[in-house]
Chain A
Amino acid sequence: MEEKQKYNLIIFNSTHQALAAEDLLLAANCKFNLVPILPEISADCGLAIRFQIEQTEILNLLKQAKIEMAGYYKVVKSGINKNITQLEI
């Protein structure tokens, strides 16, 4: 069986908000990647941050800092298939 890759994704609909999130998470020593939004979610040229599903503190940090988020997703990748579930912010 193929190994599954899992991660969480928070997407932003403003470059400023994505950069503000990056700033905040770097200062808090969080591990994450700034990535483009998956085409399965939107074809728009927005940005997202990708992180491990265990890192639940990330959402709280962003909420506390009142960073505007456009969506929160869990992505499970199996080969070329992606299973994307929307999570509650």
Chain B
Amino acid sequence: MIYVNNSATTWPKPENVYQQVNEFFRNSALNPGRSGTSSLGISPVERKIFKVRKQLADLIGTKNYAQIIFTSGATHSLNIALKGILKQGDHVITTCLEHNSVLRPLKKLEKDRDIKITVISFDQQGYISPTTIEKAITERTRLIVTTHASNVIGTLVDLKKIGQLARQHSLIYLVDAAQSAGVFELDVKEMGIDLLALAGHKSLYGPAGIGALYVNPELELDTLIEGGTGTNSLSVEQPLAMPDKYESGTLNNLGIVGLGAGLEFINQIGMEKIREHELDLVKQLLEGLQKINGIKVYGPAVDKLRAPVVSLELTGMSAAELGHLLENKFEIRVRSGLHCAPLLHRALGTEERGLVRISFSYFNTKKEVEFILQSLAELAFRLERRQENE
């Protein structure tokens, strides 16, 4: 089987991720902060959580590692950020590239808190113009929220420029890095990012169910849930200390351990090497696709920097059918459909038929890309023959 649905979740995981989770689950997985087995109330679990928090802080260029909150994933992180920041009547600017993890909480807030949403459209290759964002700023604007990389067409958003813009206008900048962390460098300080949502199970190679949110210490961010933190227990008020304030309930310590192992893997290989490898595969794929009749590719041109994800269609065949044939005839696992990005598909005009998405991880190979290209060529050829006979 060839697995090229890594934008959904990376698979396989590095061997060390499996090993460390297994080892930890058997030997150390006590309840953090409530382990009660040592007189200190501190166990390898707390130390491990502390270490992975630090690894994440290193990844996104902050030394303030108490400002990293563990969540159940990017969706959870985005919900904390959006619902913790936006108040009655606020205006928010976002883009057509966004995933439903941004769009749906915003629509909920539109109903509940009467927020106003401006959605910025993209150009032909999927790029968002910071100037267009600037023009949309009003007196009520409080937040700009953008993805770092489109989960469908791979377009990258210029975080630094938008971050500068946010600073100039005293706006808060929230970035969804679910598709980019681990492949592209992130630096919250340099890029002017106030809130950064991360997914653990994609290009950070951890298991599902773990994610993180970075919170600028100067922000006033409301909590989404309250509860036990294992600290300050005499008080019935939610503690204010970071990161406890946002981490009520028992943390997903297995997820954290797996994420830590994933981050170790990235450091060991090197982010640049990972990116180069994946982008080589993208280039090979895009060049090959150009030679297949009837294939249409969306997104940035071949020579442009992009995330390692390619969406395509075969004219005359629905994405669902193409995805089904690739899986059943050739054992190639892609993702077909709308990829939780309704506005993007509407803007591309592909909301009726969907697209087939191919997304790589470090574990994909040139040989696999070659096979994908051969398989697509065969399907395109057969479709052409079928159409001629009709």
The chain A residue with its CB closest to the CB of B244 is A14
* Chain A residues positioned under 8 Å from B66 (CB to CB): 14, 16-17, 20, 68
Name B30-44 residues within 8 Å CB distance of A: 32-34, 36, 39-42
Name A6-32 residues within 8 Å CB distance of B: 12-20, 23
Would you give the 0/1 interface string for B221-241, flagging 1 where the beta carbon is closer than 8 Å to chain A?
000000001111110000101
Name B12-67 residues within 8 Å CB distance of A: 32-34, 36, 39-42, 46-47, 49-50, 53, 64-66
Known: A16-B242, A20-B65. A44 touches B233 (CB 8 A): yes
Please report the C-alpha to C-alpha distance between residue A68 and residue B244 in the assembled complex, in whole angstroms: 12
Please report the C-alpha to C-alpha distance between residue A42 and residue B32 in the assembled complex, in whole angstroms: 20
Name B146-176 residues within 8 Å CB distance of A: none
* Interface bracket on A: 20 to 34
Verify if A43 is at the interface (C-beta below 8 Å from B): yes
* Chain A residues positioned under 8 Å from B40 (CB to CB): 34-36, 47
* Chain B residues positioned under 8 Å from A42 (CB to CB): 234
State how many residues of chain B have any CB contact under 8 Å with chain A. 27
**The residue from B46, B229, B230 contacting A19, defined by CB atoms under 8 A apart:** B46
A43 to B42, Cβ gap below 8 A? no
* Chain A residues positioned under 8 Å from B65 (CB to CB): 20
Shortest distance in angstroms between B51's beta carbon and chain A's nearest beta carbon? 9
Can you give 13 A-B contacts (C-beta < 8 A)?
A13-B239, A14-B231, A16-B53, A16-B243, A16-B244, A19-B46, A34-B42, A35-B40, A36-B41, A42-B234, A46-B232, A47-B42, A68-B242
Binding site for A on B (CB under 8 A): 32-34, 36, 39-42, 46-47, 49-50, 53, 64-66, 229-234, 239, 241-244
